[in-house]
Amino acid sequence: MRHQVMQILDEFKQELDDHREAINDNTNETQSISQYVNLLNAKIDRIAERLDELTLLVKGKPAEREFKLTPLNNREKEVFMVLYTLTQTRPYTTYREIARKIALSEALVGSYITNLIEKGIPVLKKYADGTVYLRLEEDFRKAQATKNIVGVNSTLASWTN
């Protein structure tokens, strides 16, 4: 009887060893497949990057926005430069801040801002607590910095700083 029990336990142990070996084989196979999938994903990412590069070459860069402005008079340029300068370090400014900077009334500054808008300068307005906050559209600000679209001269620009 003892011999039969030992034989059954040996067979059972052999079956467990076979199962363990099958599990290890499956685990190794799963790891290999996972590594292969990761390799394929990396190749797909590289292909996608190349497709993006080729698309840009075929289509070209996005067209740069063109701003069409009516020429500004000297006072309008002065108001513009104050608006431009004040909003370099903060997102918005007010009629009052512009008026203080160039010693004009708020009403007159408001009139000049309206002229700027009518002449094609993209001035954005935000209203909060009865106050009008102003800033230049970001694309225009960048274009002005690189191309001087408004045509302000350096003496006027240095005076407003």
**Best CA proximity match to 145, nearest among 137, 16, 132, 126:** 137
Indicate the residue type of 71: P
Q: What is the pLDDT of residues 139-159, one digit of tens each?
A: 899 888 888 888 887 554 444
Instruction: At 73, list the tokens.
Output: 């008079």
Q: What is the pLDDT of residues 39-65, one digit of tens each?
A: 887 788 778 777 877 777 777 665 667
Distances (CA, A) of 21 to 16, 27, 30: 8, 10, 14
Whether the CB-CB separation of 116 and 76 falls below 8 Å is answered with yes
Instruction: At 51, list the tokens.
Output: 């497709």
